[in-house]
Amino acid sequence: MLNAKTLKTKDRILQASLQLFNEKGERSVTTNHIAAELGISPGNLYYHFRNKNEIIKELMAKYQHETLDMLALPEDRILDANDKIHYFQVLSSQLWAYRFLHRDVYHLVENNEDFKKMYPRFAGQVMKQGHKIYQAFVDAGLMQMTSSEIEALIINLWIVLTNWTNFLYMSGHIQDSNHLEERWVWQALRQMVFLEGAYLRGESRQTYERLMESFGPSDLFASLSNTKDDDMHSSI
């Protein structure tokens, strides 16, 4: 019974930490904030985690395990066009659920030794699994790509995924990099889908077009261009 209670408290700490990190930014949240959110004493929290870095390490391990499980290839069949939608849904849900990890990645790498080791290893595992997925789509006749093109596409997708919040902040689309609305995550996925569009064949091409319709139009480029025009006029 004691062990079950211990696990429950530990899970509650992880859930509250994830929520606060996502909402307020990791740098703005202390262990005292987390304890207060849960209505427990700081000492109770320290019984499970010695410091905030240990909490982040545990969340990163959880994120890694969940994501790689969701990106696993089916064992009993070849991939079809619906799998492409599934994988993008996985990426969107995980990116949103653990958004602080990518948003605060530079700070975390510089200030958390465990994270500094875990993050590149995780990136490598995701890219390796991504290569298997795209090769499976090629083998199923849904995409036409060379191995070098797959590698380049995966790197480009990772760059969009991990730098999206910085782009939005620097381009003026969000005013606070700690607050990222879910619609901006979908915009990131829209850009990622565009990157693979040229390689799609057959049924996956039709699925791609339906997926783009579901995303709807984007005003990112137009709003950025208008902002620049307005700034130029105001400075004259």
Tell me the average confidence (pLDDT) per consecutive run of 10 residues in the chain, 236 residues long. 61 96 92 96 95 96 94 92 84 84 86 91 94 95 95 91 77 66 73 86 80 71 60 49
Give the end-to-end CA distance of the chain in Å, rounded to a whole number: 72
User: What are the residues whose beta carbons fall under 8 Å from the beta carbon of 219, sequence distance 6 or more?
Assistant: none
Distance between CA atoms of residues 115 and 202, nearest Å: 41
pLDDT value for 129: 95
pLDDT value for 208: 77
Cα diameter, the chain: 72
Q: Are residues 36 and 139 in the same domain?
A: no
Q: Are residues 70 and 35 in the same domain?
A: no
Number of folded domains that form the chain: 2
pLDDT value for 179: 62
Q: How far is CA 146 from CA 71, 135, 137, 177, 227, in A?
A: 21, 9, 12, 37, 39
Distance between CA atoms of residues 176 and 136, nearest Å: 40
pLDDT value for 176: 63
Q: Are residues 69 and 170 in the same domain?
A: yes
pLDDT value for 224: 67
Distance between CA atoms of residues 110 and 103, nearest Å: 14
Q: Are residues 99 and 204 in the same domain?
A: yes
Distance between CA atoms of residues 111 and 74, nearest Å: 38
Which of 213, 166, 170, 155 is CA-nearest to residue 188?
166
Looking from the CA of 171 toward its CB, the CA atoms found within 13 Å total: 15
Q: Are 108 and 50 in contact (CB under 8 A)?
A: no
Q: Give domain status of residue 235, yes or no.
A: no
Q: Are residues 72 and 158 in the same domain?
A: yes
Q: Are residues 1 and 87 in the same domain?
A: no
Q: Show the domain range for 18.
A: 1-50
pLDDT value for 201: 87
Q: Are residues 209 and 135 in the same domain?
A: yes
Q: Are residues 130 and 20 in the same domain?
A: no
Q: Are residues 24 and 82 in the same domain?
A: no
Looking from the CA of 53 toward its CB, the CA atoms found within 13 Å total: 12
Q: How many CB atoms neighbour CB 206 within 10 A?
A: 11
Distance between CA atoms of residues 173 and 189, nearest Å: 16
Q: How far is CA 66 from CA 28, 62, 90, 94, in A?
A: 26, 6, 10, 8
